C-alpha cells in the first residue's frame, strides 16, 4: 500500500518534476570534489586566509534568509554548519538567471543537499562565511526536516526530543541534533583507545562465530534460529568467551574481540537484545593482574577522551583514577543488609530473601538467590568504580575456585554508578571440575531455570588438551559509553536500538479488523 503523502511531500515531488523539466538531474551520478569542510574553515581561516580562496564543499541546506537578489543560507556537512552568501549575479553571471530565480529560490528546499564553490570572507557582523560563486544540487529531499530554530546567541528552540521519533528515525536525529553525532564519535574514540592499549600489550584482535550450535559462555536466554542446509538449530551467541578460550588452548598468549552478543531477555534503559561486549583473555595471568590492568585501561580511556580521569554522570563526578576500591560480595551484602549469608544454604538464602522483601522463584539455586540479594540491596550503592570480588562458586560455573577461601571463586565485577560494567575471572582450566560445574547447570535447567548454561562438550574437549592459567574479562561497551558520554539510556549510544514495530495507517486498520 502506497503511503499517503503530506502536502509538503507532494509539493517537493512537484519541484523535483520541475527540475527534471529544466534538464537538471537532482541526483547526479558523477563525483563532486570537496576540498573543504565547515569545521576546517571556521577553525583555520583567520590564521591562513590565503588558502581559502578557491574552495569546494557540500552539505545540507538548513536555513535560508532571503534578501531579494542575494541571500544568506546555512549548510551543514559532517563536520558542522557554516553560513554561505549567495548572490544572483555571482552564480548567474550571464543573461540567464534561471539557476537563482527558479532553481535556488523556488525549487530548492531546506534539507536538500547542494555543492558550492567560492571563497571565504568575514561578514560585517564578524561571521566567517563562504561567498558562493558556483552552486549545484546534489540530492533533492522529498521529506521535510523538523525545523529547529536557533537564535543569534546559539540557543535552540523547538528541538526534536521525542525518543520514539529520534530512535526510530536516527538518520533525521543525526541531521537536526548535532550533539547526538558527538556521542557516537566519542563511542568510536573509546573503542579506539581500548584497541590501542590492548594492541600495545601484545594482544591479538580476533573474530569468533556469531551463529553457534551451543549458546555458551554466560547465563542468559538465547535467540534460536534454524539452519536449513544442515537441518539443525543454531543460536545467536550470548557470549564469545568459550571460543576465545579455545584460542588460548591453541597457543595464543592474548586475544580480544569486540563482539556483538544477543540475549532474548527484557529491554529497559540499560538493556538491548543486541549489544557490544569487549572480551579479552591473557595466558599466565589471574584476576588480581586483571584488576590492575582494568584500572589502568579505564583510566587511560577517560584521559584520552577528556584529558582527565573525572567524568560527569548526571549530578555525580566519577573518578576513574586507579586504584579502585575492592570488596568481597559477602562483605558487600553484609554491609548493606546487615545479614551474613556466607554460611547459608539454599533454605537460609530463601529466608533471607523473604526478610528483605525479594521475590525468589522456585527454580533459583544458591547462586541466583545471592545474585538477587546483591542486585536488589547492594549494586546501586557503588557509584565510584568498585571491584566486587570473590563470588560464591554457585554463581560462577566458568571460574577457578579461590586459592584460599573455600566455597568461593576468583571472580570480580566492576561496578560504576550502580551498574555492572565488567565481569572477570581467573579462568577455570581444570576440565574435570568444569564438567562438574556444567552438570550442576544442567540440574538447574531441569528445575526450570531457562538462563542456566548448556554443556559445551567441544569446549570441554579443548580443555582436556590443556589450557594454561588464564584470566579473562568482559566489558560492556554500551554501558561504558553511557558512562563516559553522560547518557542515562542505552538507546542514546546505539545508532539503531531495537524498537517495537512501527504503527502505520495500514497496520492500525488491520488491528481494528
> pLDDT (tens digit, 0 to 9) for every residue of the chain, 513 residues total?
567 899 999 999 999 999 999 999 999 999 999 999 999 999 999 998 989 999 999 999 999 999 999 999 999 999 999 999 999 999 999 999 999 999 999 999 999 999 999 999 999 999 999 999 999 999 999 999 997 666 666 565 556 788 899 999 999 999 999 899 999 999 999 999 999 999 999 999 999 999 999 888 887 889 999 999 999 999 999 999 999 999 999 999 999 999 999 999 988 888 999 999 999 999 999 999 999 999 999 999 999 999 999 999 999 999 999 999 999 999 999 999 999 999 999 999 999 999 999 999 988 888 889 999 999 999 999 999 999 999 988 888 889 999 999 999 999 999 999 999 999 999 999 999 999 988 888 887 777 776 667 789 999 999 999 999 999 999 999 999 999 999 999 999 999 999 988 876 555 444 444
How is domain 7-145 classified at the CATH fold level?
OB fold (Dihydrolipoamide Acetyltransferase, E2P) (2.40.50)
What are the domain boundaries of the chain? 7-145, 180-324+384-493
- Beta bridge partners, 71, equal 66, 86
Phi-psi region of 338 (alpha: psi -120 to 50; beta: other; left: phi over 0): left
249 CB-near residues (< 8 Å, 6+ apart): 462, 463, 465, 466, 467
CA angle 234, 262, 477 (to 5 degrees): 145
pTM of this prediction?
0.90
Q: How far is CA 241 from CA 90, 166, 280, in A?
A: 63, 34, 8
Reported as type and span, the H/E element at residue 419 is: strand 419-426
Reported as type and span, the H/E element at residue 138 is: strand 128-139
15: how many CB neighbours lie within 10 A of its CB? 19
Q: Half-sphere exposure of 279 toward its Cβ, with a 13 Å CA cutoff?
A: 28
Sign of torsion, CA 132 138 141 142? positive
Alpha carbon distance 280, 479 (integer Å)? 17
Q: What superfamily does domain 180-324+384-493 belong to in CATH?
A: Bira Bifunctional Protein; Domain 2 (3.30.930.10)
Alpha carbon distance 101, 263 (integer Å)? 57
Alpha carbon distance 354, 142 (integer Å)? 60
7-145 and 180-324+384-493 share one fold? no
Amino acid at each position: 500500500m502506497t503511503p499517503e503523502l503530506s502536502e509538503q511531500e507532494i509539493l517537493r515531488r512537484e519541484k523535483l518534476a520541475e527540475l527534471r523539466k529544466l534538464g537538471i538531474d537532482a541526483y547526479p551520478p558523477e563525483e563532486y570534489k570537496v576540498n573543504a569542510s565547515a569545521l576546517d574553515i571556521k577553525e583555520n581561516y583567520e590564521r591562513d586566509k590565503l588558502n581559502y580562496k578557491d574552495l569546494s564543499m557540500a552539505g545540507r541546506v538548513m536555513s535560508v534568509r532571503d534578501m531579494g537578489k542575494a541571500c544568506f543560507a546555512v549548510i551543514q556537512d559532517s563536520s558542522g554548519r557554516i553560513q554561505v552568501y549567495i548572490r544572483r549575479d555571482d552564480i548567474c553571471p550571464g543573461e540567464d538567471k534561471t539557476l537563482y530565480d527558479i532553481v535556488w529560490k523556488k525549487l530548492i528546499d531546506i534539507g536538500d543537499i547542494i555543492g558550492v564553490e567560492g571563497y571565504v570572507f568575514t561578514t560585517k557582523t564578524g561571521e566567517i562565511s563562504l561567498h558562493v560563486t558556483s552552486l549545484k544540487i546534489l540530492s533533492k529531499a522529498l521529506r521535510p526536516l523538523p525545523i529547529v530554530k536557533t537564535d543569534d546567541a546559539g540557543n535552540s528552540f523547538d528541538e526534536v526530543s521525542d525518543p520514539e521519533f529520534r530512535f526510530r528515525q536516527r538518520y533525521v536525529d543525526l541531521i537536526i541534533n548535532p550533539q547526538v553525532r558527538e556521542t557516537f564519535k566519542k563511542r568510536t574514540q573509546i573503542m579506539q583507545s581500548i584497541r590501542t592499549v590492548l594492541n600495545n600489550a601484545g594482544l591479538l584482535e580476533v573474530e569468533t562465530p556469531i551463529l553457534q550450535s551451543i549458546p555458551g559462555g554466560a547465563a542468559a536466554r538465547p535467540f534460536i534460529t534454524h539452519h536449513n542446509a544442515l537441518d539443525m538449530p543454531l543460536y545467536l551467541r550470548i557470549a564469545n568467551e568459550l571460543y576465545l578460550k579455545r584460542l588460548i588452548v591453541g597457543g595464543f598468549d592474548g586475544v580480544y574481540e569486540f563482539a556483538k552478543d544477543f540475549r532474548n531477555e527484557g529491554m529497559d534503559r540499560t538493556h538491548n537484545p543486541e549489544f557490544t561486549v569487549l572480551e579479552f583473555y591473557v595466558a599466565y595471568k589471574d584476576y588480581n593482574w586483571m584488576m590492575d590492568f582494568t584500572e589502568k585501561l579505564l583510566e587511560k580511556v577517560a584521559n584520552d577522551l577528556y584529558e582527565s580521569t573525572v567524568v560527569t554522570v548526571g549530578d555525580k563526578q566519577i573518578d576513574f583514577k586507579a586504584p579502585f576500591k575492592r570488596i568481597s560480595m559477602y562483605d558487600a551484602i553484609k554491609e548493606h543488609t546487615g545479614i551474613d549469608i556466607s554460611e547459608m544454604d539454599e533454605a537460609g538464602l530463601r529466608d533471607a530473601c523473604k526478610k528483605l522483601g525479594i521475590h525468589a522463584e522456585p527454580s533459583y539455586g544458591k547462586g541466583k538467590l545471592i545474585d538477587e540479594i546483591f542486585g536488589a540491596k547492594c549494586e546501586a550503592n557503588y557509584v565510584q568504580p568498585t571491584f566486587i570480588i570473590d563470588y560464591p562458586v554457585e554463581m560462577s560455573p566458568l571460574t577457578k575456585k579461590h586459592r584460599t577461601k573455600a566455597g568461593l571463586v576468583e571472580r570480580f565485577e566492576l561496578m560504576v554508578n550502580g551498574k555492572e560494567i565488567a565481569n572477570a575471572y581467573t579462568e577455570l582450566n581444570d576440565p574435570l571440575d568444569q564438567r562438574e560445574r556444567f552438570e550442576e547447570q544442567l540440574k538447574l535447567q531441569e528445575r526450570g531455570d531457562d538462563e542456566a548454561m548448556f554443556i559445551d562438550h567441544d569446549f570441554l574437549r579443548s580443555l582436556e588438551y590443556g589450557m594454561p592459567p588464564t584470566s579473562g574479562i568482559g566489558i560492556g561497551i554500551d554501558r561504558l559509553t553511557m558512562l563516559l558520554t553522560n547518557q542515562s539510556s542505552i538507546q542514546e549510544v546505539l545508532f539503531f536500538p531495537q524498537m517495537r514495530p512501527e504503527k502505520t495507517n495500514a497496520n492500525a486498520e488491520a488491528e481494528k479488523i
